[in-house]
Amino acid sequence: MIYPTPRAAILMAIGLPVTLIIAVLFPALWALGAAWIAGLVGLIVLDVFLSIPRKKMEFEVKAPGSFFIGETEQVWFKYDYGDRSAPRSPECRLSVNDRFSVAPQHFYGQAANGAVLAAFDLKTERRGDGEIQRLWARWQGPLGLIWRQTTETLNIDIPVVPNTRLVKDKAIEIFSRDATFGQKIQDERGEGTEFDALTEFMPGMDKRAIDWKHTARHRVLLAKEFRTERNHNIVFALDSGHLMCEPIRGMTKLDWSLNASLLMAYVSLKIGDRIGYFAFDQKPYFYSQPIAGANSFPHLQRLTSQIDYSHHETNFTLGLSQLAQSLKRRTLIVVFTDFVDTTNAELMIENMGRLMRRHIVIFVAFRDEALEQLVKKTAKDTDDISRAVIAENLMMERDLVIARLHRMGVHIVDVDADKISNAVLNKYLELKRREAI
């Protein structure tokens, strides 16, 4: 697209009244006014020919393969014009979807070294499938009388995933003999359920490990040694309903849950377990079969971008029933969800009981900091007292639900949002030590 600049419009606007005045006062010189306009039109046409057309420029995009939520990354665009005359006053504007915010709104660049570079800072607002949609660019001709404008249809899909930069750093602190099982070269004996060998019984060993038949045969007190089992199935069941979309400390509960699940997934894959994901709101909409291998972690990280926010109420009956049907072997299920009161949680408790018949369940709940603040706040009037009483009742109902789940045999993680990652991982490692999985 080619159109005149404000400079050309102003010069044309100046020429019209001058031409009119000359025609009125000096009729014999009317050709001077017409020459002004004709000359300006000629200069505009000349500027069109001197300016660089888009088809003679090479376009290049440099963007990350993925974005971490809550962080800012740069995206670069380059127009290479080679040894031709440099475009004048280049400007760019970028269009993205609702996963990003762009700064600056307009980029005013400069041509140098045979290229025009434009850089935009993209800040991730929400997790999911981000898209860089279009780039609008324009530049002036050498005389500054016309704009050349072009639109680049990009449609670049970039997943916005949970921030896992610190996952590996945290995981390194965990990889010691007391924290993981079977990862190092030495065998872990005496703590599993998989038989490995017979050894002479020594003081301090578990008397339940004594093999009485072989002891009688060899007339020496012998005990069984075991190896730690691996290759367990672990599935993270994430509730993405409206309660989980509530923001806490800059991120939604769903994003806190995904961060915690990815930290545990990284450690579990290193140990040798298999990891899968399941997500539901008003109905189940995402399930990935458990996969093994440390190299699978980037794949799992990308899968989490498909777990989206929802404004629907969670259907625990449909969601957890579908999960139970999808699992073919005994599995450790880590459920991340939220509830308001006992009425809201009744169906959840009922379906948790069905899962407990075949599987092991870790229930992860978020402490409601807003309710705790209302209870602890010093009351100044009757409204503050009313809020504190209602908040206290809601917290009591929440504690009743947690207690009922605990009595059913569900393993509970109930902590603040910023402590949830370590708490979930510690609960998993505790179950591994106890060989409860």
What does the pLDDT look like over 76-96, one tens digit per residue?
A: 999 998 888 888 899 999 999
- Give the C-alpha separation, 31 to 44, whole Å: 20
In the predicted model, is pLDDT for residue 183 greater than 60? no
- pLDDT above 90 coverage of the chain, percent: 28
**Is the separation of the CB atoms in 142 and 44 below 8 Å?**
no
User: What pLDDT sits at residue 191?
Assistant: 46
User: CATH homologous superfamily of domain 167-171+230-433?
Assistant: von Willebrand factor, type A domain (3.40.50.410)
Higher pLDDT, 125 or 157: 157
**Is the separation of the CB atoms in 76 and 62 below 8 Å?**
yes
Range with the poorest average pLDDT among 32-36, 105-109, 133-137, 184-188: 184-188
Mean pLDDT of 13-42: 74
Mean pLDDT of the chain: 83
Question: Domain 54-161 - what CATH class?
Answer: mainly beta
Range with the poorest average pLDDT among 17-21, 127-131, 184-188: 184-188
User: What pLDDT sits at residue 181?
Assistant: 46
- Give the C-alpha separation, 185 to 187, whole Å: 7
In the predicted model, is pLDDT for residue 336 greater than 50? yes
> pLDDT confidence of 223, banded at 50, 70, 90?
confident
Dihedral of CA atoms 396, 401, 404, 405 in degrees, nearest 10, equals -140
pLDDT digits 0-9 by tens, 228-256: 556 789 999 999 999 898 888 778 899 88
Domain boundaries, the chain: 2-50, 54-161, 167-171+230-433, 200-227
Residue 170 makes CB contacts below 8 A (sequence gap 6+) with 263, 421, 422
Fold match between domain 54-161 and domain 167-171+230-433: no
- pLDDT above 70 coverage of the chain, percent: 89
**Is the separation of the CB atoms in 40 and 15 below 8 Å?**
yes
User: What one-character-per-residue DSSP string does 253-273 give?
Assistant: HHHHHHHHHHHHHHHHHHHT-
Mean pLDDT of 356-378: 84
Residue with tokens 């872990």: 188
Range with the poorest average pLDDT among 125-129, 162-166, 262-266: 162-166
User: What pLDDT sits at residue 305?
Assistant: 78
User: What pLDDT sits at residue 174?
Assistant: 58
- Give the C-alpha separation, 235 to 334, whole Å: 6
pLDDT digits 0-9 by tens, 148-162: 999 999 999 988 887
User: What pLDDT sits at residue 120?
Assistant: 94
Higher pLDDT, 395 or 149: 149
User: What pLDDT sits at residue 182?
Assistant: 46
- Give the C-alpha separation, 315 to 348, whole Å: 9
User: What pLDDT sits at residue 177?
Assistant: 45
User: What pLDDT sits at residue 187?
Assistant: 44
Separation of CA 103 from chain center:
20
In the predicted model, is pLDDT for residue 195 greater than 70? no
